[in-house]
């Protein structure tokens, strides 16, 4: 690995805080600059995480030739524009999930990455965690048989604030883009592309989805039951079932360290893989490894899976009456 990669972080919210915490933990990574439209917040972040520079203008960070990688942690509606500008300036980009607010924009971003010959990855941090890699290995070894059913939920009670990023349609809010993307990620990773999508949803007064209850069916008969909501708490657990047994992922499953394999004969195998920091370190290391190898996308979360998840979310949202285009 190179001695050091210099990161520029756009956005200074809660997710950026967690990311920067992990970034300072990973050897070979340097938080070089932080950008926020709020000058005071940018200065505070730079001081807190020992960044060399801070900017109150996003373009100033993008144009900084000292930065190797741009991490975008703004509200959803800004992802496309900022990533496009960064890639057009030949910057590698890690963009927080969802990559964009719809399939068309996500496809444009991936096409721009190819055109500019730069690395682009959606920040689906769960895909880089060791527990996911271990589960994929166990499935490949046929421990539970061919997966037939995936069940996953993610729900919490969000404070009702119609101006917040969760409720605002202008900011790309709603349960599906914010947290429903996680259950869809797991189903897509394990089962691939569905042949049919059925769902029940409810919209908020602001026109975004309050909850989405999805049932996906796949070409070989497998199914997935997925739930996201910002109106009530759910267990935040996941399960993958096959003919020989099942894998139960502990809550909160999207950043799990523990899971259990339960075979049909009653045998149980418990697995525990603790994070070294807060979980974001795995994603950071994956990006840096990709850059070391000159890869334009990650094998752990490749572009075609980003597009598949985006396609599924868009189909559901448009049919539910939420069109971010």
263-311 tens-digit pLDDT: 999 999 999 999 999 999 999 999 999 999 999 999 999 999 999 999 9
Mean of per-residue pLDDT scores for the chain: 97
pLDDT at 324: 83
Confidence check: pLDDT of 115 > 60: yes
What mean pLDDT do residues 225-243 have?
98
Sign, Cα dihedral of 90, 84, 63, 302: negative
3-state secondary structure of 324: coil
Is pLDDT of 154 > 60?
yes
Annotated domain spans of the chain: 5-126+279-297, 130-274
Which residues are 54's β-sheet partners?
34
Q: Which two tokens stand for residue 240?
A: 């993958």
Q: Report the share of the chain in percent with pLDDT over 70.
A: 99
- What's the average model confidence in pLDDT over 136-165? 97
The answer on pLDDT for 1 being more than 90 is no
Q: Which residue has the tokens 């496009």?
A: 84
| DSSP secondary structure of 16-73 | HHHHHHHHTTSTTEEEEEEE-SSHHHHHHHHHHTT-SEEESSHHHHHT-TT-SEEEE-
* Residue whose C-alpha is closest to residue 265's, from 238, 250, 243: 243
CA distance 179 to 240: 19
- What's the rounded mean pLDDT across residues 38-45? 94
Question: The domain at 5-126+279-297 falls in which architecture?
Answer: 3-Layer(aba) Sandwich (3.40)
Instruction: List the strands of the sheet with 53-55, edge to edge.
Output: 53-55, 29-35, 5-10, 69-72, 92-96, 120-123
| Residue whose pair of structure tokens reads 């979980």 in the numeric block | 279
Bond prior to 102 in cis (omega within 30° of 0): no
Q: Which stretch of DSSP H or E encloses residue 272?
A: strand 268-272
Tens of pLDDT along 133-147? 999 999 999 999 999
pLDDT category at 323 given cuts 50, 70, 90 is confident
Mean pLDDT of 36-60: 96
Cα–Cα distance between 310 and 185 in angstroms, integer? 10
Question: What is the DSSP pairing of strand 5-10 with strand 29-35?
Answer: parallel
Give the span between the Cα atoms of 303 and 312, in whole angstroms: 14
| 3 state DSSP class of 293 | helix
Rama region for 150: left / alpha / beta (φ>0; ψ in -120 to 50; rest):
beta
User: Quick check: 253 pLDDT over 60?
Assistant: yes
Mean pLDDT, residues 94-104? 98
For the segment(s) 130-274, the CATH number from 3.30.300.90, 3.40.190.10, 3.30.360.10, 3.40.50.10490 is 3.30.360.10
The Cα 282–Cα 279 span in angstroms is 6
Sheet holding 147-155, edge to edge: 196-203, 209-217, 223-229, 147-155, 238-242, 245-249, 258-263, 268-272
Interval 21-43 mean pLDDT: 96
**pLDDT for position 2:** 61
Mean of pLDDT values over 208-224: 98
Q: Write phi, then psi, for 323 (nearest 5 degrees).
A: -120, 110
**C-beta of residue 128 within 8 angstroms of C-beta of residue 300:** yes
245 and 263 in contact (C-beta within 8 Å)? yes
Q: Please report the DSSP string for 202-267 in residue order.
A: EE-TTSSEEEEEEEEE-TTS-EEEEEEESBS-----EEEEESSEEEEEPSSGGG-SEEEEEETTS-
Place of tokens 């965690």: 129
Q: Which residue has the tokens 């189909």?
A: 315
Contact 94, 68 (CB under 8 A): no
């Amino acid at each position: 690995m190179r001695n050091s990669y210099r990161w520029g972080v756009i956005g200074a919210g809660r997710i950026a805080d967690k990311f920067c915490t992990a970034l300072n933990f990973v050897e070979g990574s340097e938080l070089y600059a932080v950008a926020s439209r709020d000058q005071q917040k940018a200065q505070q972040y730079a001081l807190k995480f020992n960044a060399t520079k801070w900017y109150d203008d996003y373009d100033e960070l993008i144009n900084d030739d000292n930065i190797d990688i741009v991490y975008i942690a703004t509200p959803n509606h800004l992802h496309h524009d900022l990533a496009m500008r960064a890639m057009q300036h030949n910057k590698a980009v890690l963009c927080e999930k969802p990559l964009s607010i719809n399939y068309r924009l996500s496809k444009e971003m991936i096409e721009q990455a190819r055109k500019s010959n730069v690395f682009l990855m959606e920040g689906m941090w769960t895909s880089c965690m060791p527990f996911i890699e271990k589960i994929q290995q166990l499935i490949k070894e046929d421990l539970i048989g061919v997966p037939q059913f995936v069940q996953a939920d993610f729900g919490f009670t969000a404070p009702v604030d119609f101006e917040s990023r969760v409720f605002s349609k202008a900011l790309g809010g709603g349960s599906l883009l914010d947290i429903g993307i996680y259950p869809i990620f797991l189903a897509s990773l394990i089962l691939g592309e569905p042949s049919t999508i059925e769902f029940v949803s409810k919209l908020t007064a602001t026109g975004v989805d309050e909850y989405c209850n999805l049932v996906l069916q796949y070409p070989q008969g497998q199914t997935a039951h997925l739930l996201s909501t910002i109106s009530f708490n759910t267990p935040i657990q996941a399960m993958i079932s096959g003919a020989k047994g099942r894998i139960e992922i502990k809550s909160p499953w999207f950043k799990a360290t523990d899971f259990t394999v339960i075979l049909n004969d009653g045998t149980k195998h418990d697995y525990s893989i603790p994070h070294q920091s807060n979980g974001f370190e795995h994603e950071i290391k994956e990006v840096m490894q990709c850059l070391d190898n000159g890869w334009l996308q990650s094998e752990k979360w490749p572009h075609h899976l980003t597009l598949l998840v985006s396609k599924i979310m868009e189909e559901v949202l448009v049919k539910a009456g939420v069109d971010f285009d």
